[in-house]
Amino acid sequence: MSTITIVGAGSWGSGLSLILADNKNLVKIYDLDKDLIKEINSSHTNERYLPGSKLPNTIVGYTDLKSALEGSEVVLTVVPTKVMRQALKSVNEALDHEVVFVNASKGIEPVSFKRVSEIVFEEIAPEKIKGFVALTGPSHAEEVIKRQLTVVSSASDDLELAKFVQVLFNNDEYFRVYTLNDLIGAELGSSLKNIIALAAGILNGLGYGDNAKAALITRGLAEMRRLAVKAGAKEETLFGLTGIGDLIVTATSLHSRNYQAGLKIGSGKNLQETLASMTMVVEGVRSCEAAYQFAKELHVEMPITFAVYDVLFNQREPKDAIKELMQRNLKSE
Ligand SMILES: NC(=O)c1ccc[n+]([C@@H]2O[C@H](COP(=O)([O-])OP(=O)(O)OC[C@H]3O[C@@H](n4cnc5c(N)ncnc54)[C@H](O)[C@@H]3O)[C@@H](O)[C@H]2O)c1
């Protein structure tokens, strides 16, 4: 049994808290949202993010970060990547001992192109980090909270640590965890796929069908792979759970908020209207901005990502962006 502090009690933080509690760990969950923590402690529910679900009553919610981190061996971060740096600064201030950092958020920081692991090592004092693991793969909180079968990867440059986190989260009944020794590939794959999920929603919003979606997923994976490999990932990682696996689940499911956001944009809403209508974080928007800048810097061709960027940030009509993609120079696959 381990003591784990989860930072972020939204849909995925709550989903992961269920697994850790089912595995008989001591689970402390922290969030800035006082009403949410009150609800978790009193009725053991999270109606805003996971309506109709029940959390184990062994999970204890905190609004005081110092108390949440007391006695903890593992800190699991599950906040939108937009606020990750700020959240980590607060953790660093409140933490007075060494812990393993596990991250389950998915995204890349615009301008710096930093992955979450890099942000963690920048913001947390070295004597407080035992190591870093990314827990990622095809997983919707809406299914995990119902204990539906899910398989993800525990990725780290330190294989022993990846194994520790594998055992911590693995549940024989519904949550299987593999280890993966390619942190760059895991973090980039699971962030870049959100851009393709936005594109999949846009296609459906415009009324295109399965042929278009299959082509998008296949060609989307090709450009995800090009960028990730240029940035140092192993090519085979993009064909695993954190690459194609996560891409499939996000680009084909109504649970995906990136797909949902794309659907609204394809149906004629602009980015501001779309984001204002979403209750949960849409990571693909920021990751698209970061990937666009990163691809330019590394001279990597990413036509779909560039088209999504134009639609999101340059008010390009989705239909015109698709026309341009279809009219690119003919070439071999
Ligand atoms: N929802 C899923 O099924 C799912 C699955 C896999 C990965 N993810 C990833 O997990 C991350 C979080 O997604 P989510 O769906 O849980 O988001 P969410 O919008 O449901 O919840 C985010 C939570 O973070 C809290 N928060 C914000 N700033 C904070 C801070 N400084 N300290 C503590 N808490 C803070 C918010 O109050 C909110 O409760 C995203 O990167 C997402 O891509 C989500």
The whole model's pTM is what? 0.97
Does residue 280 register a pLDDT over 90? Answer: no
Q: Which atom of ligand 1 is nearest to the CA of 33?
A: 37
Mean pLDDT, residues 8-19: 98
Residue 251, amino acid = A
**Model confidence at 255, in pLDDT bands (50, 70, 90)?**
confident
Separation of alpha carbons 204 and 266, rounded Å: 7
Largest CA distance in the chain: 61
Please report the pLDDT score of residue 198 as a whole number: 97
Mean pLDDT, residues 38-52: 97
Domains belonging to the chain, first-starting first, are 3-181 (3.40.50.720), 189-326 (1.10.1040.10)
Q: Ligand 1 atom 1: the closest Cα is on which residue? A: 12
**Model confidence at 279, in pLDDT bands (50, 70, 90)?**
confident
Look at 44-48, 75-79, 106-110, 158-162 and tell me which has the smallest mean pLDDT.
106-110
Q: Is 193 a catalytic residue?
A: yes
DSSP 268-305: T--HHHHHHT-SS--HHHHHHHHHHHHHHHHT---HHH
Residue 248, amino acid = I
Give the contacts of 307 (CB within 8 A, at least 6 positions apart). 199, 316, 321, 322, 324, 325
Mean pLDDT, residues 71-81: 97
CA dist list (Å): 138 to 44, 46, 150, 189, 195: 26, 22, 7, 11, 15
Q: Above pLDDT 90, what percent of the chain?
A: 95
Ligand 1 centre and the CA of 41: distance in Å?
Answer: 19
Separation of alpha carbons 180 and 174, rounded Å: 20
Mean pLDDT, residues 40-47: 98
**Model confidence at 196, in pLDDT bands (50, 70, 90)?**
very high
Please report the pLDDT score of residue 24 as a whole number: 98
